[in-house]
Amino acid sequence: APVVRVAPSILSADLLNLGRDLEAISGADFIHIDVMDGHFTPNLTFGVDTVKACKRASTVPLDVHMMVTNPDESVSWYLDAGADMVTVHLEAARHPHRIVSEIHAAGAQAGVVLNPGTPACALDSILEDVDMVLLMSVDPGFGGQSFIEGTIRKISQVRSMARERGKDLLIEVDGGVSAANVERVVAAGADVIVAGSAVFGSADPAREVARLRELGTP
């Protein structure tokens, strides 16, 4: 099996030392940026200027997770800002296929996201068209929440759906992933793991990225 990809979430970084923290994760596979609008999620976080600032500061590909109502209206801003991967929630997108086409037309990779309460079958009509499916393993809004166990079964379900359709698909898992559960998450079929508090809450974020990758690689 290929090496698991690690995407540290800057939600848990030290914002007053973001440059230092980006430097510390220069060995990561993606920088995960949580865009929250205070409507789709209770919390309010980063916007397009943060994405631009990360683009200037790092060569690591940017994985922009849009937790906003009506991403149809704002997806182009994040593409212009330099996102390499953009994921939109199926619970929020009005026209998911149109958004995915727009992302691809800009030369970026596209993904759709499911909240813990949304069943895997919601992917039925879009699976073939995306590069990645992001499965939330916590209800979105905050870092440091605990992993919802039912996600393991959902990861396997999406992995089987992709296999049945002969679709080459990345599965990313976001929320409560740490050294304690990364092996099980990857064994169920995940290719990319997001880790916020696990990486930035550790004394040595660079080492934690390497450790998660090692633990997650069979």
Nearest to 7 by CA among 182, 127, 141, 156: 182
Regarding 65 and contact with ligand DX5 (CB under 6 A), the answer is yes
State the nearest-atom distance from the C-beta of 117 to ligand DX5, in Å.
14
Map the footprint of Zn ion across residues 163-182, applying CB under 5 A: 174
Note if 131 is an active site residue. Answer: no
Residues making up the annotated binding site for a divalent metal cation are 32, 34, 65, 174
Provide the 8-state DSSP code for 144. S
Helix (H) or strand (E) holding 213: helix 205-216
Q: Please select the residue that binds ligand DX5; options are 54, 185, 195, 209, rule is CB under 6 A.
A: 195
Regarding 11 and contact with ligand DX5 (CB under 6 A), the answer is yes
Measured CA to CA in angstroms, residue 23 lies from 59, 60, 149, 199 at distances of 10, 10, 32, 13
Is the CB of 25 or the CB of 124 nearer to Zn ion?
A: 25
State the nearest-atom distance from the C-beta of 196 to ligand DX5, in Å.
3
Is the CB of 109 or the CB of 166 nearer to ligand DX5?
A: 109
Contact between 78 and 53 (Cβ < 8 Å): no
State the nearest-atom distance from the C-beta of 172 to Zn ion, in Å.
9
Dist. CA 163–CA 147, nearest whole Å: 25
Is the CB of 117 or the CB of 144 nearer to ligand DX5?
A: 144
Contact between 169 and 131 (Cβ < 8 Å): yes
Q: Is residue 166 classed as helix, strand or coil in its secondary structure?
A: coil
State the nearest-atom distance from the C-beta of 159 to Zn ion, in Å.
20
* Marked catalytic residue, from 21, 34, 37, 63: 34
Dist. CA 213–CA 202, nearest whole Å: 15
Contact between 28 and 10 (Cβ < 8 Å): no
* Marked catalytic residue, from 21, 29, 63, 174: 174
Whether the CA torsion 77, 86, 42, 40 is positive or negative: it is positive
Note if 14 is an active site residue. Answer: no
Name the binder of 197 from Zn ion, ligand DX5, none, CB < 5-8 A by kind: ligand DX5
Q: Which residues bind Zn ion (CB under 5 A)?
A: 34, 65, 174
| Residues identified as active-site | 34, 174
